[in-house]
Structure 1
Amino acid sequence: MAIDLEKGLITPAASPCVAHFMGVWYVSRPPSAKNRTMARMPARLTQHPLLQALISKKNVMIAVVLRDMRTRFFNHGFGFIIVPLWPLVHMTVLIAIHAASGKGTPAYGESTALFYATGLVPTLTFMYVSRFMGYSAIQNRPMMAFPVVKALDVMFGRAFLEIIASCITITLMMTILWMTSQNPWPLDIENAVSAYLATIFLAIGCGTVAGTLALIQPMVMTIYQLIVICTYLSSGTMYVASQLPDQVSSLLSYNPVLVCVEWMRTAYYETYSDKLVDKAYLFEFAGTSLFLGLLIERMFRRQLRDA
């Protein structure tokens, strides 16, 4: 059993069962233009240790992504199509509950769907990316039997997959809002994009900590799931946090996801209050989380592999 770095996928040296276990099959094909270009490169460049390490890392990440796409739903790659639909179902349920409660107007603005969308996009992005980074570390632990596969490869590969799903969800949400004669475009596009990228940064930082700790003690993911639920309830998705009493809003402002939600809404509503948008706190929290996650992974790398 081995990892074929030149072909780009994890393949068995003796038995095809390993390729099936990894959820990846290698199909022979003519050399691509990229491979022909690599062949024409000077040998001293193609054999450079840094380039070889980058190629190896890319191949491992591809294998992780393909395996996660197969195992997420129905044990088939096409099951990944369902992933971007879950947030849409979530938003539909919230709108239905809002209508059933007899509330005719949204908590802010003129569109109930837009108000919930501006809260759900940051919140669910954080929840899905960080949570599944942790679960992926546990589910793909057997892959770490290969020396070339590290815990970070598994977690970051899953993060990449969830970010792609999140982008598809945003596209679908904006399309539905536009088709229902609602304006899905933010007043400040740069601010909206910045809020979304900051949310991804936060999710990766928290997911790295959760994933590395989960490899040491799987019970961590149960605790983290409870934390995520509390984070969702206090994120301001269903209400305007800045309109709450100062004591309550001040306490909620320590939730970095709420900062992301408030930041996103300031990009959509011209008169939306930004008193809870503490960008410095958000980046410090995300950066510290990522640093701690990387530090734990480095300090306990051998134990994580042998656990």
Structure 2
Amino acid sequence: MMLREMTTSYGRSPIGYLWEILQPVAGIALLTLVFSVMLASPPIGKSFVLFYTTGIVPFMAYQAINTKVAQSISFSKQLLVYPSVTVFDAIAARFTLNFLTQLLVGFLLFTGVLVFEETRTSMHLPTIFLGVLMLGAFALGLGTLNCFLFGILPGWQRVWAVLNRPMFLVSGILFLFEHIPEPYRSWMWWNPITHIVGQVRRGFYPFYDAAWVSPAYVFIVSLVCMAVGVVFLIRYTLDIINN
């Protein structure tokens, strides 16, 4: 199913899967350049490029993976009529392919920043790895729940797109969580993406404590979304496919 997705999604393009890598890399690089000119002094560290990249890469990865997983039924609807193929096969294939793709995008971007930018930072790989696990769990859990909601409520996909528009501003990408005044800081804490960004950023800035980050909270939210999505998909997948 992963090979089918690669062929179907990228086989029509002249450069195929390579475009899926280059497109987000180029887009994030352009945004980083624009914001680095507008905001030359980062809230932490010496390089705004690194500060912004540690925020935008997890955010864009979450959006890409969640969207792909949420569209699993519509993408594989023809295959799901066969008893041997389940919706969870489709979800697993889409998640694995796109999670690995986003890891490659992040690796290329961070490698470029560390090579060409004077960051004066030291990475802590276990901390970054935990942030990646948090990202994968949340994107998979929320994507599974949205997979059900997209199928059972046709208008939910448009509503979800509207709800996600302000997420860029409330996920701590351009600023530190600690710099947000109350009561907005307490409200922002409930956003799992804020914790993911904080965890990844903590891995690139060893002197950044970010004691407010709670991996347990992100994993609990992810598991709840996953459990609810799985239960309803087991019950309603056939109804979604037939309708």
TM-score by length of 1: 0.72
Cα shift at 1:269:
1.4
* Residues 272, 179 of structure 1: alpha-carbon distance in 2 compared, 3 angstrom cutoff: closer
- For the 8 Å contact 2:47–2:117, the answer to whether it is kept is no
Select 2:80's aligned residue among 132, 144, 157. 144
Q: Does 1:75 align with 2:21?
A: no
SS of the aligned residue for 2:186 comes to helix
Deviations along 1:29-64, one digit per CA (max 9) or x if unpaired, are xxxxxxxxxxxxxxxxxxxxxxxxxxxxxxxxxxx2
Q: How many residues end up aligned between the 2 structures?
A: 243
CA contact (8 A) 1:174 1:184 kept: no
Give the match for residue 23 of structure 2. Answer: 86
Q: Structure 1 residue aligned with 2:34, among 97, 100, 103?
A: 97
Identity %: 21
One-letter amino acid of the counterpart of residue 19, structure 2: I
Deviations 1:5-28 (A, max 9, x none): xxxxxxxxxxxxxxxxxxxxxxxx
* Partner Cα distance (1:260, 1:216) in 2: 29
Q: In the TM superposition, what are the counterparts of 1:168-183 in structure 2 within 5 Å?
A: 168-182=104-118
Which of residues 203, 208, 211 is equivalent to 2:147? Answer: 211
Shift of 1:288: 0.4
Q: Residue 255 of structure 1 corresponds to which residue in structure 2? A: 191
**What amino acid maps onto 2:230 in structure 1?**
L
Q: 2:136 aligns with which of 187, 200, 223?
A: 200
**In structure 1, what is the Cα distance between the partners aligned to 2:121 and 2:15?**
30
In the alignment, is residue 284 of structure 1 matched against residue 220 of structure 2?
Answer: yes
Q: CA deviation at 1:184?
A: 9.2
Give unmatched runs, 5+ long, in structure 1: 1-63
3-state SS of the aligned residue for 1:236?
coil
Runs of 4+ in 1 over 6 A off after TM superposition: none
Matched, 1:109 2:45: yes
Any stretches of 5+ residues in structure 2 without a counterpart? none
For 1:200 and 1:134, how far apart are their aligned partners in 2? 14
Task: Work out which structure has the larger RCO, using CA pairs closer than 8 Å and 6 or more positions apart in sequence.
Answer: 2
